[in-house]
Amino acid sequence: MEKSYWNKDMGRKLSICHVITRMIIGGAQENTLLTIIGHLEKGHKVTLITGPTEGPEGKLLEKSCPKDLTIIELPSLIRSINPLKDLQAYFQLKAIFKKNKFDVVHTHASKAGILGRIAARHAGVPVVVHTVHGQAFHPYQAWYKNKLYIFTEKLAARYCDRIYAVAQAMIDQCVAAGVAKPEKYKVVYSGMRLNDFINQKPEPELRQKLGIPTDCFVIGKIARLFELKGHDCLIESARIIVQKVPNVRFLLVGDGNLRTLLEEKIKNYKLEKYFVFAGLVAPSEVCRYTALMDVLAHLSLREGLPRTAVQALASSIPVVAYPLDGTPEVVFDHKTGLLCPPEDIAKIADALIYLLEHEEIRKEYGRAGQKLVRDLFDWHRMADILEQEYRKELEEKRKK
């Protein structure tokens, strides 16, 4: 490696490159952007390499792109597996890394993490790190796909110095699968702009605009309208809930390729008046919607540590969820919300009904949740921890 990558003054400004396949409106992307903003504020030089951002999920950088951020878009860096484009992306990444002589390359998500880590190490980047936002392998996927993803994650792990995870559950799963040893991992909770949620008050005008009557409870769900996000389970449970709590509305925040199918299912069940589709909402606006909710239903079958659960708790809103992945690290059963067996429609309905019918318990769980998350998930804290990690790794490399 070239000595120009670092010097003995470890207080100097760093040259950092983040790599991610796309900058849609999503948890991994918001995490990446807030990390970037935190490091730009410290005076570091930051570059973002991303693939094309297309689809109904929206473009995160459209309204919130930091002015000092250098962005490189690689058309070859796509989410789906494509051997020709993947090989092209690898060589393009390697060339960019060699040319720019970054101090740190930080990759995010599965595809970018695999190609980016290998390319960065082959390019001689001194510090290569990766964040696991959610597992590429999981129980709700074909075994042969899991086997492929575990193999590629094992391979990529050899090419990086440190792996961060947004939840301890992610680390436990990786270690159990033999991806890498425990000492290679560190939990860095995903930072968020929590003050927006803590301080936001319900807006009667927004409620009216959404068509939600003032005397109705609101069960919210914030997620892309995609597979494994649990919208089907919420709709099924709604059939039970409306029988016991008729003055309820289900507020769905997000968009995606399942919207038409979900709308058809709701219509077939004659539940149209109970469901409100808010559509795509900018991250800075989500707090306005959580402020309208009484309970959040987080029913995703695959998640790292759900940002939406943290955001709801910051709004003093309890959460009904599954005990999967990192969710139990913030949704404590009978303390900050209720946990249900995955896809158990009756139990989901019972939990949501219970919280709607018990106001004091609902508020108690919400207050406890806000206390839990307000410091742990501060975005400045996340950016500072990662900066310290980068410097620590650089110092260790310098000593060798």
Both 96 and 201 in one domain: the answer is no
Same domain, 21 and 85: yes
Per-residue pLDDT tens digits of the chain, which is 400 residues long: 333 333 444 578 999 999 999 998 788 899 999 999 999 999 999 999 999 887 677 788 877 789 899 999 999 999 888 899 999 999 999 999 999 999 999 999 889 999 999 999 999 999 999 999 988 877 777 888 889 989 999 999 999 999 999 999 999 999 999 999 999 999 999 999 999 999 999 999 999 999 999 999 999 999 989 998 999 999 999 999 999 999 999 999 999 899 999 999 999 999 999 999 999 998 889 999 999 999 999 999 988 788 999 999 999 999 999 999 889 999 999 999 999 999 999 999 999 999 999 999 999 999 999 999 998 999 999 999 999 999 999 999 888 7
* In contact, 212 and 218? CB cutoff 8 Å: yes
Q: Which residues span the domain enclosing 145?
A: 3-191+378-399
Say if residue 313 is in the same domain as residue 391: no
Tell me what pLDDT residue 53 has.
81
One domain, residues 277 and 383 = no
Q: Are residues 22 and 87 in the same domain?
A: yes
Shared-domain flag, residues 174 and 201: no
Residues 242 and 120 in one domain: no
How far, in Å, CA of 357 to CA of 352, rounded?
A: 9
Exposure class string for 276-293: b at 16+ Cβ within 10 A, else e: bbbeebebeebbbbbbbb
Q: What is the CATH number of the domain that holds 148?
A: 3.40.50.2000
Question: How far, CA to CA in Å, does 240 sit from each of 207, 261, 265, 283, 298?
Answer: 24, 20, 15, 31, 18
Say whether both 361 and 262 belong to one domain. yes
How high is the pLDDT of residue 1? 32
pLDDT given for residue 142 in this prediction:
86
List the structure tokens of 249.
């509305």
Same domain for 330 and 216: yes
| 180 and 315 together in one domain | no
DSSP per residue, 261-327: HHHHHHHHTT-GGGEEEEE---GGGHHHHHTT-SEEEE--SS-SS-HHHHHHHHTT--EEE-S-TTG
Tokens 């410091």 sit on residue: 375
Instruction: Evaluate whether 321 touches 355 at the Cβ level (below 8 Å).
Output: no
